Amino acid sequence: MKYVDEYRDAKIAEAYGQTIARVTTKPWTLMEICGGQTHAIVKFGIDELLPDKITLVHGPGCPVCVTPIELIDKAVEIAARRDVIFCSFGDMLRVPGTEKDLFAVKAGGGDVRVVYSPLHCLKIARENPSKQIVFFAVGFETTAPANAMAVYLAKQQGITNFSMLVSHVLVPPAMEAILSSTLNRVQAYLAAGHVCTVMGYKEYEPIAAKYHVPIVVTGFEPLDILQGVLMCVKQLEEGRAQVENQYARSVRREGNRHAQQIVSEVFRIVPRKWRGIGEIGQSGLGLSEAFVTYDAEARFGIADYTAEEPAECISGLIMQGVKKPNECPAFGARCTPENPLGAPMVSNEGACAAYYRYRRFHLPMSSQQTQTG
Amino acid sequence: MNRPNEFNPNCPVPIQQYPQVMLAHGGGGKLMHQLIETMFVPVFSNSLLGARHDGATFSINGSRLAFTTDSYVVRPLFFPGGNIGTLAINGTVNDLAMCGARPLYLSAGFILEEGLPMETLWTVVRSMQQAAHEASVQLVTGDTKVVDKGKGDGIFINTAGVGVIEHNLTISPASVRPGDAILLSGDLGRHGIAIMAEREGLSFESAIESDCAPLADLVMKLIDAGIEIHCLRDLTRGGLASALVEIGEAANARITIDENAIPVREDVRGACEILGFDPLYLANEGRFVAFVPAPDVAKALDILKSHPVGNGASLIGKVNNESSAAVVMKSRIGATRFVDMFSGEQLPRIC
């Protein structure tokens, strides 16, 4: 397939692995930000091609994983209302809240629908004037423009039975939070290519300078990731800390200005709690004053939940690169995709799900056997 | 900027139990597997059910027979390449074929929703008649019920089938041996994408048609040619991955497959890339895997490739000599990974 197969060439991948091994003289720890990159790494076995000195740790860039449990509880409460059609990207339906997930709401009679685009919600709203249509707006900068456009068009078209439960998060504040932690082990970042397609990479330049970490904007195919690793390692070995763009076929330094414009018009920057990590200031998006009537939390008078997350799941440590999924005692035993302790085990972009789905044969047989139970 | 709360390793309460039936309990993945293994099999416990095959096989007065049933609840009722009627015939024909049986007689139970246009029912029934003719089976008994409007999805169909086994092979996971070759009868994923595209209004450059087809004729040709088939499995819900995991577990076999050898059409791959789906898990309605001894591979592939429903066949892997059950795949870039069942159906990703 054009634009895909040429980035999955086994011979070139092997050559990249050899080149990386040749330029690596010291141990380095790199973090890929995006859950899509994590899955590509584990699914294709990209890390198997790297020298032992290179450690890849997995970042917080999984929108499902970082959505706070309170938001899931709020979604569950709104979705269970008889006057509501609750729309979400499919990935969110399996994420456990305090008591249940959205699939359980659906099984209990709630009208929960998977949509592929937030704009589809406007069509549903027009077709169901007696219902309230609520869209669960999660994700990073990548999904923000389309979600912003849905609210913008709803206002423009006078659609009043539509609102959004917003849980948008931003990448750069999370990168800084990880780097400024005392437990940090990340020495370079593979930045998320699709986030940068929207936002560009100007905003990473001060981070690279302040913390002296190389940041390479990287794509999602095996050769993209291998090239991103090589670019990071070269910088580390040469003592440089710059922002470089591996994903130049998609990303420009200034990003997509039209997308940024609609995001800044509809949303404003707010503090946001990250599941498993905690609150990070100025790290999320909420609806701006002009669009605040489309805020589902206000519309349905949802109280400010405080949900306690129990201690066994170490998703916070995993999403900050301190631990790997298979280093969690619950992994594959008390935490499986059927009975998840945490969101990273259910999400298509979660690191734990990637390890569980693609990596179990690397584990000792004793731990494989417990996983089927 | 605020710092995060210092690494507070928290997580939500587990959802350990399922007090209600979830959609995933019918999704062909782990939850359905669990439901069958923990509720149905123990309750109805008997040796035929215990064989966990696509159908039951047994002898009556010296004749070996196969018996199977399946229900069809597809939405939309009509999709490129078929409709619920063609599925209802071919699905049951294929389950019999996977037992190595020649399909003979089918029953059909219709659960119709009040208000269904008679024209729609007529189209479905005519399709069933045509599919039965093409698969050389007769529809010999049936039942009709109508439910209140809103209590059904237009048409639900159940079919059951009986076939006769005219050879001495034991086609079952228990017959799988180390060294067996795994043949796949054609490209993957067209039915799953065809349904998804129709259901969700996704359009591609050209319509992706379901692979829905009867497989019995092809299976009979393999058997008639003397291919020593050890196991057969059609790749319906859950796709190739779930079928191989199930066989691997039932046979306690280590299966290795090569991603580069698995045919997936370019338009299906494109749809998967957009939606975040893995073609290995997409539903098919006219594809199967055959486990055969290595010396039979060339002859079996010749027969498969010369048949219209098997002309895209390929050798995709083998059964290894290790005793631990697992499916392992060599990835496109030459590394290896584990292949597991999904919990339920695949969900489209966020971005």
Please state the domain extents for chain A: 1-311, 315-370
Q: Which two tokens stand for residue A117?
A: 């685009």
Same domain, B222 and B261: yes
B196, A90 Cβ separation under 8 angstroms:
no
**Partner residue opposite B338 with nearest CB, options A106, A360, A365:** A360
B15 closest CB neighbour out of A14, A101, A322: A101
Q: What is the CATH number of the domain that holds B97?
A: 3.30.1330.10
Which of B146, B165, B184 is where one domain is finished? B165
Residues on chain A touching B3 (C-beta within 8 angstroms): 177, 180-181, 280
**Kind of pairing, strands B254-258 and B181-184?**
unpaired
Instruction: Look at A314 and B9 and tell me if their CB atoms are within 8 Å.
Output: yes
In a domain, B154, yes or no: yes
Tell me, yes or no, if B144 comes closer than 8 A to chain A by beta carbon: no
How far from B265 is each of B238, B273, B311, CA to CA, in Å?
Answer: 18, 12, 13
Q: Quick one: angle between helices A144-156 and A257-266, nearest 10? A: 60
Measure A49 CA to nearest chain B CA, in Å: 8
From the CA of A225, how many Å to the nearest CA of chain B? 12
Top-confidence residue, B3 or B253: B253
Q: Tell me the two tokens of residue A239.
A: 């003592």
| pLDDT (average), residues B214-239 | 96
Question: Which of B165, B194, B229 corresponds to the end of one domain?
Answer: B165
A150 residue type, one letter: A
Per-window interface: B 204-233 vs A, CB < 8 A: none
> Is the pLDDT score of B317 beyond 90?
yes
Least confident of A181-195, B27-41, B51-65, B335-349: B335-349
Answer yes or no: do B14 and A338 touch at CB < 8 A: no
Closest CA to A278 of A190, A164, A181, A346: A181
Confidence of residue B1 (pLDDT cuts 50, 70, 90): very low
**Last-in-domain residue among B165, B196, B217:** B165
Kindly list the strands in the beta sheet with B231-234, ordered across the sheet, starting from the edge strand earlier in the chain: B231-234, B288-292, B181-184, B314-319, B254-258, B326-330, B336-339
Q: Give the span between the Cα atoms of B320 and B37, in whole angstroms.
A: 26
**Pairwise CA distance, residues B216 & B166, whole Å:** 13
- Structurally, chain B folds into a number of domains equal to 2
Same domain, B258 and B334: yes
Q: Do B335 and A44 touch (CB under 8 A)?
A: yes
Same domain for B161 and B203, yes or no, is no
- Taking every pair of Cα atoms in chain B, the longest distance, rounded to a whole number of angstroms, is 82
How many CB pairs lie under 8 A apart between chains A and B?
Answer: 213
pLDDT at B9 over 70: no
Quick check: B305 pLDDT over 50? yes
| Residue B25 belongs to a domain | no
Q: Is the pLDDT of residue B335 over 50?
A: yes
On whether both B210 and B311 belong to a single domain, the answer is yes
What is the strand order of the sheet A54-61 is part of?
A54-61, A28-34, A188-192, A215-218, A243-245
Whether B11 has a pLDDT exceeding 90, the answer reads: no
What tokens were used for A306? 């405080």
Q: What phi and psi, each to the nearest 5 degrees, are found at residue B44?
A: -95, 20
Burial A81-93 (b: 16+ CB within 10 A, else e): beebbbbbbbbbb
Stretch B42-47: mean pLDDT: 91
User: Would you tell me the crossing angle of helices A119-127 and A144-156 to the nearest 10 degrees?
Assistant: 30
Tokens of B235: 């790749």
The two structure tokens encoding residue B136 = 């050389």
First to last CA, chain B: 27
Cβ–Cβ gap B340/A356 under 8 Å:
yes
From first to last of its 373 residues, chain A has per-residue pLDDT tens of 777 888 999 999 999 999 999 999 999 999 999 999 999 999 999 999 999 999 999 999 998 889 988 999 999 999 999 999 999 998 889 888 888 899 999 999 999 999 989 999 999 999 999 999 999 999 999 999 999 999 999 999 999 999 999 999 999 999 999 999 999 999 999 999 999 999 999 999 999 999 999 999 999 999 999 999 999 999 999 999 999 999 999 999 999 999 999 999 999 999 999 988 889 999 999 999 999 999 999 999 986 777 777 678 899 899 999 999 999 999 988 888 888 888 898 887 899 999 998 887 555 433 443 332 2
Look at residue A328 in the predicted model and tell me its pLDDT. 92
Q: What one-letter code names the amino acid at B195? A: I
- Please tell me if residue B2 touches chain A, with a CB cutoff of 8 Å: yes
Task: Compute the mean pLDDT over every residue in chain B, rounded to the nearest whole number.
Answer: 90
Tokens found for residue B167: 């050879």
Same domain, B159 and B177: no
Does residue B17 belong to any structural domain of this protein?
Answer: no
The answer to whether the Cβ–Cβ distance between B1 and A341 falls below 8 Å is: no
Instruction: Judge whether residue B139 has pLDDT over 90.
Output: yes
Look at B7 and A322 and tell me if their CB atoms are within 8 Å. Answer: yes
Closest CA to B250 of B53, B66, B58: B53
Per DSSP, the three-state class of A279 is strand
When pLDDT is cut at 50, 70 and 90, the band that residue B349 belongs to is low
Partner A contacted by B323 (CB < 8 A): no
Instruction: Point out which residues pair with A86 in neighbouring strands.
Output: A112, A134
Check A93 against B347: CB less than 8 A apart. yes
pLDDT of residue A361: 55
Closest Cβ opposite residue B333 in set A46, A177, A279: A46
Which 262-291 residues of chain B touch chain A by CB within 8 A?
A: 266, 269-270, 273, 275-276
Band the pLDDT of B275: cuts 50, 70, 90: confident
User: Looking at the structure, do residues B219 and B329 belong to the same domain, yes or no?
Assistant: yes
Give A249's Cβ-side CA count (13 Å radius): 8
Strands B288-292, B181-184: pairing is antiparallel
C-alpha B16: how far from its chain's center? 28
Residues of B (167-206) whose Cβ lies below 8 Å from A: 200, 202
Contact list in A for residue B275 (CB cut-off 8 A) is: 116
Cis peptide bond upstream of A271, omega within 30: no
Of A91, A99, A271, the CB nearest to B350: A91
CA–CA gap between residue A27 and residue B201 (Å, rounded): 50
With an 8 Å Cβ cutoff, are B333 and A10 in contact?
A: yes
Using an 8 Å Cβ cutoff, are B145 and B106 in contact? no
Task: Determine how β-strand A28-34 pairs with β-strand A54-61.
Answer: parallel
In this structure, the answer to whether residues B264 and B118 fall within a common structural domain is: no
Least confident window among A205-219, B15-29, B45-59, B249-263: B15-29
Asked if omega into B76 is within 30° of 0 (cis), the reply is yes
Residues B141 and B206 in one domain: no
Q: Please indicate whether residue B200 or residue B152 has the higher confidence score (pLDDT).
A: B152
H or E, element range at B138: strand B138-147
Is the predicted pLDDT of residue B7 greater than 60, yes or no? no
Residue of A12, A20, A44, A369 to mutate, testing the B interface (most B Cβ within 10 Å of its Cβ) = A44
Pick the closest to residue A344 from A159, A94, A113 (CA basis).
A94
Among B9, B15, B22, beta carbon nearest to A313: B9
Q: Which domain holds residue B102?
A: 56-165
Q: Compute the half-sphere exposure of residue A93: CA atoms within 13 Å on the CB side of its CA.
A: 26
| Token code pair at residue B61 | 């007065």
What does the alpha-carbon distance between residue B53 and residue A89 come to, in Å, rounded to a whole number?
Answer: 35
Closest approach of A28 to chain B, Cα-based (Å): 22
Q: Are residues B161 and B215 in the same domain?
A: no
The listed CATH number (3.40.50.11740, 3.40.50.880, 3.90.1150.10, 3.55.50.30) that belongs to domain A1-311: 3.40.50.11740
Q: How confident is the model at residue B20 (pLDDT cuts 50, 70, 90)?
A: confident
- Which residues have a Cβ under 8 Å from the Cβ of A327 and sit 6 or more positions away? none
* Residue B245 belongs to a domain: yes
Q: Is residue B46 part of a domain?
A: no
The mean-pLDDT minimum among B20-29, B107-116, B224-233, B303-312 falls in: B20-29
Choose the closest CB to A96 out of B12, B269, B351: B12
User: Which one is predicted more confidently, A340 or B4?
Assistant: A340
**Which DSSP letter does residue B208 get?**
P
Q: In this prediction, what percent of chain B has a pLDDT beyond 70?
A: 93
pLDDT on residue B27: 79
**Under 8 Å between Cβ of B241 and B327:** yes
Is the pLDDT at B351 greater than 70, yes or no? no
Q: Where are the alpha helices (H) located in chain B, listed in sequence order?
A: 30-35, 41-43, 47-50, 84-98, 118-134, 190-200, 216-224, 239-251, 266-275, 297-305
A-chain residue closest to B270, CA distance: A1
Radius of gyration of chain A (CA): 21
- Do A104 and B15 count as a contact with CB atoms less than 8 A apart? yes
Contact of A173 with chain B, judged by CB distance below 8 Å, is answered with yes
CB atoms within 10 A of CB B140: 11
Nearest CA in chain A to B336: A45
Query: Do residue B134 and residue B193 come from a single domain?
Result: no
Does B349 lie at the interface with A, CB-CB under 8 angstroms?
yes
Q: Do A339 and B4 touch (CB under 8 A)?
A: no
